[in-house]
Structure 1
Amino acid sequence: MRVLHVNKFLYRRGGAEGYLLDLAELQRAAGDEVGYFGMTHPHNESPLPYAEHFPSHVEFEPAPRGLRPRAAAAGRMIWSPAGRRGLARVLADFRPDVVHLHNIYHQLSPSVLAAARAAKVPCVLTLHDYKLACPSYQLLDKGELCDACVTGGPLMAARRRCKDGALGPSALLAVESWLHRSLRAYDPVAVFVSPSRFLAGVMGRAGVFPDRMHVLNHFVDVAALPMKETPGGGVVYAGRLSHEKGVDLLIEAVAALPAGAPVDIAGDGPARPALEERARRLAPGRIRFHGRLDKTRLHELIRSAAVVAVPSRWHENQPMAVLEAFGCGVPVVGTDLGGLPELITAGVDGEIVVADDPAALAVALGRLVADPGRAYAMGRAGRARVERDFSPAAHLTGLRELYALAGAPR
């Protein structure tokens, strides 16, 4: 089978890109031929044979400076002629059996779907966030949980000014989503894949193609992932450093942890300078920031821990941070939002705590750090869970079935 993966970024920027690249590797090992289409970016994987056809690099966070660049970026969010032309050329040369799309919003736009439809290539789209139901992606309004657009439609984003509290950016996101919905820009997608029941439920409430929505777990290749061998260690956080991830709550909780327990934070993002300052102020000398780590080093860091913290204050979908922690044999303390309760079984392979409550987070983390034997046993239970429910073979089989469904007459 020939599979063309389409995503705006083609490097390990976050969970979506990590999943895409790991899936492509899995498919190649199974004998499939895999190609990529995305946006030009200096950090993209190399080599990328079709890079000459990629649309140019643009960033939206922060927004481009100057009226003309901003207007051009806004137009590209709505519809990218360069994205459509580029993908059309790649489709003509690569001739895939299926186009598997991931995060195409903004930098690529659904114009790429028009190219696939014209070429009569079936499309499958894996959802990694809430964009098709929430114009600002995260079910957040100025950092607080919100589902106004899910039930009230995308123009609610403009009314509530949910993007940074500003009318201009909020209105742009609202109009973008309203136009795409009104024009049925995502209609060429035959199959939508949701990694969690929670996300699928949100899309169903928003009326986002519920008849085409299918739940399929992500996967972890534990055969290539050594497990933690001895009890002990501290706390590790691995992920993006941004407000919705709740890393500030972890820093606040550190003071209540047993003395000497190491706390390591791996990852990067816009909140890193503020988080480092917060750590110096609230927990001097107790927290180490490692920045973005390659997969091997990250897994080593996770295995050194007694527990992994996922203190999110937003509705996580199915974060790879949890699955990879379980694969390493380390339990997870996560919050009660989104798909996290689907992954973590309290008292078995981790604990669930109320979101935005650093005291509750500190208690749960502290219990596991103070009882390394219990933490070790819970980590082994997590490993057994991913071996059973998140195997690469099961994921590949399920995905092939969805590819076949996408190619069936509609």
Structure 2
Amino acid sequence: MTEQRILIISHGHPDHSKGGAEVAAYNLFKEYERQGLDTVFLARTDHPSHGGSAFSTINSDKEILFHTHMSDFFLFQSGCKKHVWQEFRALLQRYRPTVVHFHHYIHMGLELIREVRNTLPNTRIVVTLHEYLAICANNGQMVKPGKQMKLCYKSSPTECARCFPERSAADFFLREKYIKSIFNLVDMFVSPSYFLIDRYKAWGIPEEKMVMIENGQPETETPEPRQLAEGEGRGRFAFFGQINPFKGVDVLLEAFKLLPEDFQEKVHLDIHGANLQGQTEEFQEKIHRLLEDLGDLVTLHGSYESHEIGRLMEQADWLIIPSVWWENSPMVIQEAFNHGVPLIGSDIGGMAEKIVHNINGIHFRKNNPLSLSKVIEKVSGFKGKWDVLAGSIIKPITVSDCARAHLSDIY
């Protein structure tokens, strides 16, 4: 195999941003470093730079922060064109990577992809798709705007204009053409789920340019099940992730409110989540009201560090993913499987693909607190259910397996 020089580009650095995509990109970078490959990690940041420079380093000279931004979130265009055609171009000319692997383009601009092709015509361009931003202007969620969170099954310029009446169908037609003109420059797209591949295939990306590679997990021993007190059941439930309307934390809290009083005495919910303060005032008030109603039944722990995930998951019997949008392949699913924790998840998208109903977890109806409440009641009352599901969990692929797949099949 030709000696590779790999540039991984992420929309955030895990030291600053805790999202699953950032962690997946960084884990891949560290694995390449461990293997002795010549690799650079470029992560966009909104932290101010020293002296106005577009770049600074963090941790080592192989980890570079890109101090840039986007001005147009409709077309994903850079807010500082000079950063693209001058600073980023100079970085490409200096490192001359044989592979540039984008783990995102948001907050930086799609123009970076074109700049790679223009500056290094023979360099292989890989893009990992983590959501549906190119297809959907509603934060890439494929959920129609409004309180009902109605799912969108297929985009079209006419349908998109109905969601955003301030723009015309022609605007969305041209948006699609522009994004596809950039995507045509990409050699290969990677997706952590088949569901997302199907969505992009229906949108027009050739199937032969897409491959499914799951995000790898660090190698770890599956811990022993949580020790139970005498007479105690498997009633410790947990949520890990961002607290926003798309993640369904309100659905989760409403489900616990619906539990019969005798069951409420047997269960507890731990919420490990961040960014509630960044949501609308209306949503914050709803969450705080539900937390107040539930009292000691729920504990809100706030954010957590990546290295804490194992210890925190060992304290849970079940992990719940109540997202009301399609999701792709939430990192927390693989993290739960890595630690032997069965999942309860919404019956749509990548969640329904990864959580196999009645095998390694349980589905409930999306955005339906009553359906979720019934599942919680069922698994809390059926003592053998946890043993069956936990015993069927298969370890996810490791980070080294993930890197091997990229190096042999993609790069």
TM over 0.5: yes
When residues 28 and 229 of structure 1 are mapped into structure 2, their CA distance, relative to the original with a 3 A threshold, is farther
Contact between 2:77 and 2:108, CA under 8 Å: does it hold in 1? no
Q: Which amino acid aligns with 1:104?
A: Y
- Deviations along 1:322-366, one digit per CA (max 9) or x if unpaired, are 111111111000111101122112222110111111111112223
Give the superposition deviation at 1:95: 2.2
Cα distance in 1 for residues equivalent to 2:330 and 2:57: 22
Cα distance in 1 for residues equivalent to 2:224 and 2:57: 28
Give the superposition deviation at 1:204: 0.8
| Alignment of 1:310 onto 2:321 | yes
- Listed as ranges, the matches of 1:85-100 within 5 Å are 85-100=86-101
- Paired residue secondary structure (2:295): coil
Match of 1:201 among 195, 198, 202: 198
The residue number in structure 2 matching 1:67 is none
TM-score w.r.t. length of structure 1: 0.82
- Deviations along 1:149-172, one digit per CA (max 9) or x if unpaired, are 2xx24x6423321xxxx726x999
The residue number in structure 2 matching 1:290 is 301
In the alignment, structure 1 segments of 5+ residues that lack a partner are 59-71, 405-410
Match of 1:399 among 399, 403, 406: 406
Tell me which stretches of 4 or more aligned residues in structure 1 moved more than 6 Å: 50-53, 170-173
Match of 2:348 among 304, 321, 337: 337
The residue number in structure 2 matching 1:8 is 11
Cα distance in 2 for residues equivalent to 1:75 and 1:134: 10
When residues 186 and 291 of structure 1 are mapped into structure 2, their CA distance, relative to the original with a 3 A threshold, is same
The residue number in structure 1 matching 2:395 is 386
When residues 51 and 23 of structure 1 are mapped into structure 2, their CA distance, relative to the original with a 3 A threshold, is closer
The residue number in structure 1 matching 2:45 is 40
Cα distance in 2 for residues equivalent to 1:320 and 1:330: 14
Contact between 2:47 and 2:67, CA under 8 Å: does it hold in 1? no
Match of 1:265 among 267, 271, 284: 271
- Paired residue secondary structure (2:274): coil
Q: Which amino acid aligns with 2:36?
A: G
Contact between 2:189 and 2:209, CA under 8 Å: does it hold in 1? yes
- Deviations along 1:50-100, one digit per CA (max 9) or x if unpaired, are 788824356xxxxxxxxxxxxx55698334522343322221222222111
Cα RMSD after superposing both structures: 2.9
Residue identity over aligned pairs, in percent, reads: 22
The residue number in structure 1 matching 2:160 is 157
When residues 284 and 193 of structure 1 are mapped into structure 2, their CA distance, relative to the original with a 3 A threshold, is same
When residues 171 and 277 of structure 1 are mapped into structure 2, their CA distance, relative to the original with a 3 A threshold, is farther
The residue number in structure 2 matching 1:65 is none
- Deviations along 1:267-291, one digit per CA (max 9) or x if unpaired, are 2134473354133343122211122
Cα distance in 2 for residues equivalent to 1:228 and 1:87: 49
Match of 2:285 among 274, 277, 282: 274
Contact between 1:306 and 1:376, CA under 8 Å: does it hold in 2? no
Contact between 1:279 and 1:287, CA under 8 Å: does it hold in 2? no
- Paired residue secondary structure (1:285): helix
Match of 1:138 among 122, 136, 141: 141
The residue number in structure 1 matching 2:237 is 235
When residues 171 and 321 of structure 1 are mapped into structure 2, their CA distance, relative to the original with a 3 A threshold, is farther
Cα distance in 1 for residues equivalent to 2:189 and 2:299: 39
When residues 366 and 319 of structure 1 are mapped into structure 2, their CA distance, relative to the original with a 3 A threshold, is same
Cα distance in 2 for residues equivalent to 1:131 and 1:403: 23
When residues 171 and 94 of structure 1 are mapped into structure 2, their CA distance, relative to the original with a 3 A threshold, is farther
Cα distance in 1 for residues equivalent to 2:300 and 2:171: 33
When residues 130 and 361 of structure 1 are mapped into structure 2, their CA distance, relative to the original with a 3 A threshold, is same
The residue number in structure 2 matching 1:18 is 23
When residues 113 and 225 of structure 1 are mapped into structure 2, their CA distance, relative to the original with a 3 A threshold, is farther
Match of 1:28 among 33, 42, 47: 33
- Paired residue secondary structure (2:265): coil
The residue number in structure 2 matching 1:321 is 332
In the alignment, structure 2 segments of 5+ residues that lack a partner are 49-55, 229-233
When residues 276 and 223 of structure 1 are mapped into structure 2, their CA distance, relative to the original with a 3 A threshold, is same
Contact between 1:2 and 1:95, CA under 8 Å: does it hold in 2? yes
333-342 vs 291-300, which deviates more? 291-300
Q: Which amino acid aligns with 2:94?
A: D
- Paired residue secondary structure (1:339): helix
TM-score w.r.t. length of structure 2: 0.82
Cα distance in 2 for residues equivalent to 1:238 and 1:159: 34
Cα distance in 2 for residues equivalent to 1:275 and 1:324: 29
When residues 171 and 15 of structure 1 are mapped into structure 2, their CA distance, relative to the original with a 3 A threshold, is farther
- Paired residue secondary structure (1:279): helix
- Paired residue secondary structure (1:277): helix
- Deviations along 1:200-243, one digit per CA (max 9) or x if unpaired, are 00111110233311112222223366454545451100011111
| Alignment of 1:116 onto 2:116 | yes
| Alignment of 1:56 onto 2:61 | no
- Deviations along 1:22-53, one digit per CA (max 9) or x if unpaired, are 22122222222321223233399933637888
Point out the structure with the larger strand share: 2
Give the superposition deviation at 1:375: 1.5
When residues 211 and 348 of structure 1 are mapped into structure 2, their CA distance, relative to the original with a 3 A threshold, is closer
Contact between 1:197 and 1:215, CA under 8 Å: does it hold in 2? yes
- Paired residue secondary structure (2:76): helix
78-87 vs 284-293, which deviates more? 78-87
Cα distance in 2 for residues equivalent to 1:277 and 1:45: 39
40-49 vs 335-344, which deviates more? 40-49
